[in-house]
Chain A
Amino acid sequence: DTGVSQDPRHKITKRGQNVTFRCDPISEHNRLYWYRQTLGQGPEFLTYFQNEAQLEKSRLLSDRFSAERPKGSFSTLEIQRTEQGDSAMYLCASSFRGAEKLFFGSGTQLSVL
């Protein structure tokens, strides 16, 4: 069990640029989640996948955000035309279907200048 890994750990970008983050879940886990956390707040749910299917998306996920999990393994989260309000920690988590315990990665810290 190597845990959930996220890449990169930190990303600094200029407003208007596109960014992409990657998450590698625990290999046997078929569910994968993306959360966003801003300073002093708890994580907020963005979206989740069961295998390669994206089953739910939060209203927080604007049209500039897109997530994929093409082969039911790793996932990517892309933000297009970044805005300063996108600055946050983006967390990925995984679990078995039907299990309530989520395993979180250490997150990708995004700073939009």
Chain B
Amino acid sequence: DAKTTQPPSMDCAEGRAANLPCNHSTISGNEYVYWYRQIHSQGPQYIIHGLKNNETNEMASLIITEDRKSSTLILPHATLRDTAVYYCIVKSAGNKLTFGGGTRVLVKP
């Protein structure tokens, strides 16, 4: 599975949009981009995933570049409860989820 690169940390103001970048320049054609987050002392929580089209659900939006070498997770109106570590993972069906270091997001009032 392709490796991903994320910034180790970022701050965000409460009520503003949080844009979390992820680079996956070695992604292959059958690999999906998944985003999870982990709030302190809880299990990883699935947020969203996509192949090449942009996706939106009740939690977030996922924007994947046309060449699929990078993506951005958008939390449209960050709240204090969105403070967590966010993981960007690339994998194909039947393969394992491999977690990297993620981005530690701190939402500030």
A binds B: no
Q: Which residues of B are interface residues toward A (Cβ below 8 A)?
A: none
Q: Which residues of A are interface residues toward B (Cβ below 8 A)?
A: none
